A and B are shown apart, each in its own frame.
Chain A
Amino acid sequence: MDPSSANRNISVIRMRDFLFVGMPADPDDSLIAALQDDVLKAMERHGSRAVLLDISLVETFDSFFARTVSETAQMVNLMGGRTIIVGMRPAVAITATQIGLTLGKIETALDVDRALSLAATEPVPKLRR
């Protein structure tokens, strides 16, 4: 697979009440910014209950990426939806913790299966992380 084309696409798929968003391995800043636009547009169109953001392919999650995701989640929240980050890689989780990245309102799930189970249940009042 040509690496450059693999990084040019965000997939946004509606599944019942949810939006499933897949991020490629090494998105550039424009693509990360596009994530916000694409998600909000889809939220407007479908009024989804939750956005499942799959970052299981993502190799680098720096402060710009994190901030964009965090802002997006706040906007999704204002539009009545939850945001669940799915499949963060161990190395990425360790690095993000070391930088001190906080994900605020965002929930996390190990994989898509668990994300769906989580999304299907009423959100437990989340303690601040």
Chain B
Amino acid sequence: MAPTGSCDLCIESESDIVGARRAVREAAIQLGFGQTDVTRIVTAASELARNTFKYAGGGVMRCHPVEIGTRTGIELQFVDHGPGILDVSLAMQNGFSTSAGLGLGLPGAKRLMDEMEIESQPGRLTVVTVRKWLRN
């Protein structure tokens, strides 16, 4: 059993995208997110997990609770060693896609979550981090 609000899994196959959605759903519910926010978080995870599998050739997803002061939230991190993102700001534009069908992944995830950070060294390491905070 994973620690409350946490999960850690490999994204190596198509079925791992579903696995990622399930794990994130459970984590978000455990942390007390409402139905709509759970859907937002799971959808963002689905987009990013698919990017990791289809575009980066596989990677890992981790999620865990975060706290700053009195605020609690969830953080998802997607790590891969794939081709990476050469121009982060370009990739964030709507509809941008280097491989058919991935246009909405990153910008969509960014809109659904509260914070997004991308670090990319193409071919070496790419880390996409997203966070959502519980509303008071």
Inter-chain residue pair count (beta carbon < 8 A): 63
A residues within 8 A CB of B22? 26
B83 touches A (CB below 8 Å):
no
B117 touches A (CB below 8 Å):
no
Q: B42, A59: Cβ atoms under 8 Å?
A: yes
A92 touches B (CB below 8 Å):
yes
Which of A29, A30, A92, A94 has most B Cβ within 10 Å? Answer: A29
Contact of B104 among A60, A90, A95, A100 (CB under 8 A): A100
Stretch at the interface among B1-9, B32-40, B57-65, B66-74: B32-40
B residues within 8 A CB of A67? 101, 104
Instruction: Please measure, in the bound complex, the distance between the C-alpha atom of A89 and the C-alpha atom of B36, giving whole angstroms.
Output: 10
Which of A28, A60, A94, A98 has most B Cβ within 10 Å? Answer: A60
Instruction: Please measure, in the bound complex, the distance between the C-alpha atom of A95 and the C-alpha atom of B45, giving whole angstroms.
Output: 13
Q: B39, A92: Cβ atoms under 8 Å?
A: yes
| Size of the chain A interface, CB-CB below 8 angstroms | 22
A61 touches B (CB below 8 Å):
yes
Per-position binary interface string of chain B over residues 1-44, scored 1 when its CB falls under 8 Å from any chain A CB and 0 otherwise: 00000000000001101100110010000000001101110110
Q: A91, B18: Cβ atoms under 8 Å?
A: no
Residue of A nearest to B46 (CB): A62
